[in-house]
Structure 1
Amino acid sequence: MQLNFRGLPALVTGAGKGIGRDTAKALHALGAKVVAVSRTDADLVSLSKECPGIQTVCVDLGDWDATERALGNVGPVDLLVNNAAVAPLQPFLEVTKEVFDRSFDVNLRAVIQVSQIVARGLIARGAPGAIVNISSQASQRAITNHSVYCSTKGAMDMLTRVMALELGPHKIRVNAVNPTVVMTPMAQANWSDPQKAKAMLDRIPLGRFAEVENVVDVILFLLSDRSSMTTGSTVPVDGGFLAT
């Protein structure tokens, strides 16, 4: 399947590492005009060197006012990937206000804010668009020590459906991708214990964690016209985890 995003403006959050970085690179390679957003300037500098032409914005999306200043006038955006996330893990009885607030600020509130900015611009221009939210299998299954993270992703799935409902009449499609563990730096930190990893792998029929490219391929499909009748969906990339 050949995809072509030539000339289309795209914005990717959490583009410094992992899924976001590879998504930004793939969109750039397919001709999109990419704006890459990350809170880590060094990651954006290395991305710019790797992919000359990508525009970078350094901002902590957990800060509402800073995000508004950084992205409020970002220019026309047709394609949006809400990938930025944090995943500090705590047992339920040890959850702190700081972890709760930070997780919901980045994983959910920032998705609302950035999507509002992009959707308002699309509506003002009368242009169609596509938004992909990066959720998780953790939105639909309980995982030990993930009470806050699971909650943010469960909320993201429902947010995706409501966004699709309200933005559909404006020809803006909204979908979510729900991966299993993807061996990004964040996942490696949380799943480096072989015993913990085995317990998860035993629940995945295909018997392996996802590669970043497995997720990026689905993101690209959902951004493309090849998925023009798909909106409000949550698409597992989980090796069958949610089927068990």
Structure 2
Amino acid sequence: MELPRTPSFRLDGKRALVAGASSGIGLASAVALAEAGAEVVLAARSADKLSDLAEALTAAGHTASVLSLDVSDVDATEAAVAEGGPFDILVNSAGLARHAPALDTTEADFDAASDLNVKGAYFLTRAVARGLAEARKPGSLINISSQMAKVGGVDRAVYAATKHAVEGFTKSMAIEWGPLGIRVNTICPTFIVTPLTKQTFDRPDRRAWVEEKIKLGRIGEVEDIMGAAVFLASDAAALITGTALMVDGGWTAD
């Protein structure tokens, strides 16, 4: 009897671009991809913030380099990706939150969030896909979305709107680029302990709300996202595209 073989979770020979790699989920994703064998290009607005990570990865025997990249600058992003690509894998963790009651939302906060979380993510994803299409290569493109792409939340009307938009363009891109072998997915975390969530956890009432909603009874850590990133980037997820991988501790199970 010939037994089936589990597809590889390894990423040897692959080049991965990780945007927003200077901290939090982006940093953890970069480490995970490097550990799985990928050559990782670390991108953020300030390349200086990435030097320690690149040095640590190199010291551990991995291959890593640094790219200064402001995802909200579409022209610069497209030029950088065209010059440095093609990339077999994209993990886009660049994003921001401007939390406030909907009645208090400012136009500046709305524009800042949508410019990075939606427009920046859209054109970064497209730029990486264009490089793959021109090289006639398959690939895996992953945007870090949020559980707020599936539900709403107090003080999060703008943030939730941007993440709902990411889910929409992800599905459409997956349909268009599927025939090219380019997969497009999102990872939707619950609240993860990062600098971005500090303002929420500093408020006892908000922390209690979060802990009550997460069915597994704990707040997420960046390590909870690392396996998901490797899985979607690898051949183990070869038939997965246009979907959202929920890493939310059961928040959205209701």
How far 1:182 moved relative to its partner?
0.5
* 3-state SS in 1 of match to 2:83: coil
Is 1:32 aligned to 2:38, yes or no?
yes
- Structure-2 residue corresponding to 1:202: 212
TM-score by length of 2: 0.92
- Structure-2 residue corresponding to 1:226: 236
Gap regions ≥5 residues in structure 2: 1-5
4+ runs deviating over 6 angstroms: none
Paired residues of 2:74 and 2:124 also in contact (CA < 8 A): no
- Aligned CA RMSD, in angstroms, stands at 1.4
Q: 1:74 aligns with which of 84, 95, 117?
A: 84
How far 1:59 moved relative to its partner?
2.4
Paired residues of 2:33 and 2:229 also in contact (CA < 8 A): no
TM-score by length of 1: 0.95
C-alpha distance after superposition, 1:59-78 (max 9, x if no partner): 22112233234333112211
Gap regions ≥5 residues in structure 1: none
Is 1:12 aligned to 2:12, yes or no?
no
C-alpha distance after superposition, 1:24-56 (max 9, x if no partner): 112112221111111133321111221224111
Q: 2:48 aligns with which of 8, 30, 42?
A: 42
For 2:73 and 2:100, locate their aligned partners in 1 and report how far apart those are by CA, in whole Å. Answer: 23
Paired residues of 1:62 and 1:102 also in contact (CA < 8 A): no
* Matched ranges for 1:151-170 at <5 A: 151-170=161-180
Aligned residue identity for 1:177: I
Aligned residue identity for 1:161: K
How far 1:110 moved relative to its partner?
1.2
Aligned residue identity for 2:30: A
Between the two proteins, what is the percent identity of the paired residues?
37
Aligned residue identity for 2:37: G
For 1:179 and 1:166, locate their aligned partners in 2 and report how far apart those are by CA, in whole Å. Answer: 25
Aligned residue identity for 2:191: V
Number of aligned residues: 244
Q: 1:145 aligns with which of 147, 151, 155?
A: 155
